[in-house]
């Protein structure tokens, strides 16, 4: 918990940098540091598998995708002046923010072992996954064994995304 608050502040700062910087290449690299800070926060929360995936896929692959797009397009935001925030957005976003923060008191306390998310099915996985699947890593056991159909359909989604990219970027006939 001692390291978490500085990391959270750094997270908001990197997100702000990625949004506010005008040079798009710099913006994308700051987005990469944002992803990596997010991976550090998750590793601190005990979610090591999510941290690995975010560091590899989020900080690595997404940055490469952004850079490939920028190398074939413009590298700068061409607007010199930023238009002011419209009052509808200001009022609407403040109302949503107040409602979300008002609901925070009803969420379970942070790190509470008896919270609803941690009481129903998840102790079953923790207690039985080694006996049933012989895998010490419970996340891998659920991902590849209990929910393997889910993972199969996910690979179909990625395959579809690859086909869509190839069809959109195909050169020649239009």
Partner 1 sequence: MAELLSALFQRPNFVVFVILFLWGIYIMAAHPNYVKKLIGLYIVQTSVIFFLVAFSAKNGATVPIVSGDMAMLDASAFANPLPHVLTVTAIVVQVATLGVSLALVAALYRQYGSLDEDEVVQRVE
Q: Is 139 in the site for partner 1 (CB under 8 A)?
A: yes
Applying the rule CB under 8 A, the residues between 15 and 54 that interact with partner 1 are 15-16, 18-19, 24, 27-28, 31, 34-35, 38, 41-42, 45-50, 53-54
Yes or no: say if 129 and 135 are a contact pair by the CB < 8 Å rule: yes
Q: Would you tell me the crossing angle of helices 24-44 and 4-20 to the nearest 10 degrees?
A: 160
Q: Is 115 in the site for partner 1 (CB under 8 A)?
A: yes
Q: Is 154 in the site for partner 1 (CB under 8 A)?
A: yes
User: Least distance in Å: CB of 43 to partner 1?
Assistant: 9
User: Least distance in Å: CB of 173 to partner 1?
Assistant: 13
Q: Is 152 in the site for partner 1 (CB under 8 A)?
A: no
Q: Is 156 in the site for partner 1 (CB under 8 A)?
A: no
Torsion of CA 20, 26, 32, 37, to 10 degrees: -60
Task: Calculate ∠ Cα 30-32-34, nearest 5°.
Answer: 75
Interatomic CA distance for residues 83 and 100, integer angstroms: 27
In 3D space, the residue among 38, 25, 35 whose CA is nearest the CA of residue 66 turns out to be 25
Among 23, 126, 172, 173, binds partner 1 (CB under 8 A): 126
Interatomic CA distance for residues 67 and 99, integer angstroms: 37
Q: Is 59 in the site for partner 1 (CB under 8 A)?
A: no
Cβ neighbors of 54 (< 8 A, separation 6 or more) are: 35, 38, 39, 42
User: Least distance in Å: CB of 127 to partner 1?
Assistant: 5
User: Least distance in Å: CB of 81 to partner 1?
Assistant: 11
User: Least distance in Å: CB of 33 to partner 1?
Assistant: 13
Yes or no: say if 76 and 70 are a contact pair by the CB < 8 Å rule: no
Q: Is 168 in the site for partner 1 (CB under 8 A)?
A: yes
Among 3, 23, 91, 108, binds partner 1 (CB under 8 A): 108
């Amino acid at each position: 918990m001692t390291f978490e608050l500085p990391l959270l502040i750094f997270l908001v700062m990197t997100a702000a940098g990625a949004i506010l910087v005008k040079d798009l290449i710099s913006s994308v690299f700051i987005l990469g540091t944002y992803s990596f800070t997010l991976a550090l926060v998750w590793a601190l929360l005990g979610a090591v598998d999510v941290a690995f995936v975010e560091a590899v896929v989020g900080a690595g692959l997404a940055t490469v995708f952004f850079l490939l797009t920028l190398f074939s397009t413009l590298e700068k935001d061409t607007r010199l002046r930023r238009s002011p925030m419209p009052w509808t957005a200001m009022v609407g976003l403040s109302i949503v923010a107040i409602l979300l923060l008002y609901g925070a008191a009803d969420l379970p306390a942070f790190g509470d072992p008896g919270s609803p998310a941690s009481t129903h099915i998840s102790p079953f996985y923790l207690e039985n996954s080694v006996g049933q699947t012989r895998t010490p890593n419970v996340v891998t056991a659920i991902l590849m064994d209990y929910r393997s159909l889910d993972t199969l359909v996910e690979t179909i989604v990625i395959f579809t995304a690859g086909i869509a990219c190839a069809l959109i970027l195909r050169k020649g006939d239009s």
